[in-house]
Amino acid sequence: MNKPDFSFEQAAKAKGYLFIAGVDEVGRGPLAGPVCAAAVILDPDNLPDGLNDSKKLTAKKRDALFDQIMAKADVAIAQASVVEIDTHNILRASHIAMVRAVQGLRQTADHALIDGNMIPRDLTISAETIVKGDGRSLSIAAASIVAKVWRDRHMVDLAQQFPGYGWEKNAGYPTAQHKLGLEQFGVTPHHRRSFKPIHNILYQDKSISD
């Protein structure tokens, strides 16, 4: 099985770029919570061992790698809020989060490796897209881990404020428990109103009240 390597970063360095950031986002699919992005500039001489696409790692391994990445790399984490998701759309909001993450790095990145097939339109530095980049580039893999762990922890915090939806386990994704919570407790301020299941609940409730 192929694993991410440093070839994209090395190719960028060969072109003269000094600070190359891997960028990834997590949280496009959930019905609740922000979309989160991370940007990571790895030190090629101090790489965490075992970096891979966050989806291919256990939660325990992700947590351990999160701590290593935070200790060994230049990392920035950013989010776009539910309001921004509903105002723009989830794709645009995820790109807003990506740009904020790149801007938050201690070092000024001069090239970005973006997971996916679209470069965020407000990104002001050189960039390239890598489809399935979290499984191909070590920097993007690191960003995927950081974004995933940070967002999961954030949803655990929100679950303490809004129990009953199972966010501590489903991270806001539309599981059976989450749907049951919506039926029992209704829509919270952290739900994405532009997403069809939430929109339908609000619309039906409104039509009933009318």
The verdict on whether residue 9 carries a ligand-binding annotation is no
- For residues 166 and 63, what is the distance between their CA atoms, to the nearest angstrom? 20
| 115 belongs to an annotated ligand binding site | yes
Q: Return d(Cα 107, Cα 41) in angstroms, integer.
A: 8
Asked whether the beta carbons of 114 and 130 are under 8 A apart, the reply is yes
**49 annotated ligand-binding residue:** no
Binding-site residues: 24-25, 115
- The binding site for a divalent metal cation consists of 24-25, 115
